[in-house]
Amino acid sequence: MSIWTVEMDIGRLHRGFPGTMLEHLDITIDAVGDDYLTASMPVDHRTIQRMGILHGGASVVLAESVGSIASNCCIDQATLAAVGLQINANHIRPARSGRVSGTARPLHLGFRTHVWRIALQDENGRRTCECTLTTSVITRKSLGL
């Protein structure tokens, strides 16, 4: 059974982020299933740190992005919005090139909070980072939207 409350069209999801960090870092939505969403980004000059490996902050950006998008696709977007409340990241292995992908799966989908597990991996399927994201489900009105 699907957790989504909106049509999960990858093309539509891509068109929703012009002028954002997702566009700047070339974060793309790559796959969707009944209970997961996967996005990826390049390991390049925008996302590496001085030692030539993926910056931990960039991993967190990917994790929070895919988790927040997923969270917003589980609610009534006409009246509600899901925003990041807390994120935890454990950096496991460095990535040096190619693309890293992050797959978000829900651990808890409550009325006021969602908790997501986001597993990041390199192109060889090796885990690079494990994140847990908590989002707060609030009214769009409280954001001035």
64 counts as catalytic: yes
Contacts 24+ apart (CB under 8 A), 75-78: 75/5, 75/137, 76/5, 77/5, 77/6, 78/140
Strand ranges for 1-145 from DSSP E: 28-33, 36-42, 80-91, 99-109, 113-121, 127-139
Q: Which of 7, 64, 123, 130 is catalytic?
A: 64
Q: Which residues are catalytic?
A: 64
